[in-house]
Structure 1
Amino acid sequence: MKLKYQRLSQEEKQKAKEEFLKNKESIIYIKAHKIYVLSIIGIIVSIASFVFDYFSKSGTFSFILDGFLFIFSIIFFIVMIKVKLREINKFIINKKSKK
């Protein structure tokens, strides 16, 4: 199912996103964006840690921890993308219904 946000043209998407960020309702979006950035950092750290553990011949426990960090970072990355899109979509729908 396509969201209303996905049906907009590129210019309309940019305009809607700018209006949304100027609005007071964008607190959840800002927090989701922070978690999004942290998940990217988590992915990078888990890959670097995995490489370091491989070359330093660490134990299995280190690899398991790196795997958990990588998996949960990917999960948070995907979920935060969906949360950000859902919040912008709700804003667009509410804006259209008020007119």
Structure 2
Amino acid sequence: MSYNFSSNYQINKMLNSVVESITNLAEEQLLHIQRLTRIGESLSSETDIDKIFDMILEEGISFTRADAATIYTVNEDATKLQFEIVYNATLNLRKGGTR
């Protein structure tokens, strides 16, 4: 869609570009909100911690456009970090989790 903001071609072109960028950003943010809502609903009903970790990492990577992510937990006596799951797209690496 193109709007006629100005009789000056260059100004009109620039303003239409800004409108298009803002529209695209708004649509992307709406998709993020919808995905976060779906994640929240899923997390509230899921009881398998490995599936929850998978969901958190997959959506976190997608949401932030990250290449990799890792989850660690604290052991029972709170003295060490314990590896749980890692995804790395560049290295084609998936360890831990359910997949």
The verdict on a shared fold, with TM-score over 0.5 as the criterion, is no
**Which protein shows a greater Rg?**
2
Name the structure where helix makes up a greater proportion of residues: 1
TM range (shorter): 0.3 to 0.5
Greater RCO, 1 or 2 (C-alpha within 8 Å, sep 6+): 1
Name the structure where strand makes up a greater proportion of residues: 2
